[in-house]
Amino acid sequence: MSKKNQKKRILSGMRPTGKMHLGNFVGALENWVELQNSSKYKNYHLIADYHVLTTDTNSDHILDNTLDMISDWLAVGIDPEKSPIFRQSQIKEHTELHLILSMLITKARLERNPTLKEQLKDLNMENVTYGHLGYPVLQAADIMLYRGEVVPVGEDQAPHVEITREIARRFNKTYGKVFPVPKTKLTNFARLPGLDRKKMSKSIGNTIMISDPKEEIQKKMMKAITDPQKIRLHDPGRPEVCLVFTYHQKFNPDEEEEIAKNCRSGDLGCVECKKRCAAAINEFLDPFREKRNYYAENKDEVLDIIRDGEKRAREVARETMDMVHDAMKIG
């Protein structure tokens, strides 16, 4: 195959945090499936289990969280035959390349990383560990190990990719051309608010999970925040400020116009609107439920899928490190 017709490599991943919610689906997984099914890209999907340790050294739940997370990935359409799924910790070349790359960037440069500053503020952290400061270098190793050419990220993660680009250029200049300098593919990742209008997060309990039973979704939707000015049944509403309408736009687009009209006129009450939204979300999730339940009950199979992905990823990783060793004349 000519280089012109080769698929560009993409490395995407997540920390293993357990079951996925609709915010994860809208913000990342939906885009991953679309890229996977494109004729332009070859996806590799990383379970970033070492990255967990940068903010939490308790590793007791990493494996269970990994299996729960991958069950959701598989349920929504990530195809492990097309897109290998693997754990960072099981591909030892990640740590070796991370060590080498850490020699090519200064502490001062890492401290200027705006994403790190925001994260420290959000987590209310005062003392930064060596591993946390070097998070972008490990991320660079993750991308470069598979000779990634395109990195789809939201605007907030673009500074991390810029560090990867700098390190790739520095390695190539110092030792010889091994790595493509990856291009940032700025993606307008949709953000789905939580049931309280805040960022959807398991830690504050405002989520709808992909694995939630139908009855649970109906119950959760009844607590969703609506237009605070629409108090009684026939009060006119403002769909543009209503969280439930935001969910209708994503999961019930066929009825979006009618719901907006009837909300504004006061013909549609909030309770009925929420019931219809819950029904639409459940219908949307129905195709995923059977697959998700199957993988939840067959975790050994999920682990086999991950191990197969690791075998395939390891081949690419070893090939890359052979190229690195040759360039550095340490092979």
pLDDT in tens, 210-256: 999 999 999 999 999 999 998 888 899 999 999 999 999 999 999 99
Q: What are the pLDDT digits (tens) for 15-43?
A: 999 999 999 999 889 999 999 999 899 99
Distance CA 205, CA 20 (A): 13
pLDDT, residue 2, reads 44
pLDDT, residue 188, reads 63
CA nearest neighbour of 197 among 207, 188, 187, 189: 207
Full set of structural domains in the chain with CATH: 3-192+299-328 (3.40.50.620), 212-292 (1.10.240.10)
Q: Name the more confident of 184 and 154.
A: 184
Query: Three-state SS string across the chain, please?
Result: CCHHHCCEEEEEEECCCCCCEHHHHHHHHHHHHHHHCCCCEEEEEEECHHHHCCCCCCCCCHHHHHHHHHHHHHHHCCCCCCCCEEEHHHCCHHHHHHHHHHCCCCHHHHHCCHHHHHHHHHHCCCCCCHHHHCHHHHHHHHHHHCCCCEEEECHHHHHHHHHHHHHHHHHHHHHCCCCCCCEEEECCCCCCECCCCCECCHHHCCCCECCCCHHHHHHHHCCCCCCCCCCCCCCCCCHHHCHHHHHHHHHCHHHHHHHHHHHHHCCCCHHHHHHHHHHHHHHHHHHHHHHHHHHHHCHHHHHHHHHHHHHHHHHHHHHHHHHHHHHHCCC
Give the pLDDT band (50/70/90) at residue 125.
Answer: low
Distance CA 271, CA 143 (A): 47
Q: Is residue 111 scored above 90 in pLDDT?
A: no
Q: What are the pLDDT digits (tens) for 45-90?
A: 999 999 999 888 999 999 999 999 999 999 999 999 999 999 999 9
89: tokens are 């910790």
From 82-86, 158-162, 223-227, 266-270, the region with the lowest mean pLDDT? 158-162
pLDDT, residue 80, reads 97
Q: Is residue 123 scored above 70 in pLDDT?
A: no
Distance CA 80, CA 218 (A): 32
Q: Is residue 1 scored above 70 in pLDDT?
A: no
pLDDT, residue 116, reads 76
CA nearest neighbour of 152 among 319, 288, 38, 18: 38
Where does residue 203 fall: left (phi above 0), alpha (psi -120 to 50 degrees), or beta otherwise? alpha
Q: Is residue 189 scored above 90 in pLDDT?
A: no
pLDDT, residue 152, reads 81
Query: What average pLDDT does this structure show over 196-209?
Result: 92
pLDDT, residue 101, reads 98
Cα 99 to Cα 135, 146, 294: the distances in Å are 12, 16, 40
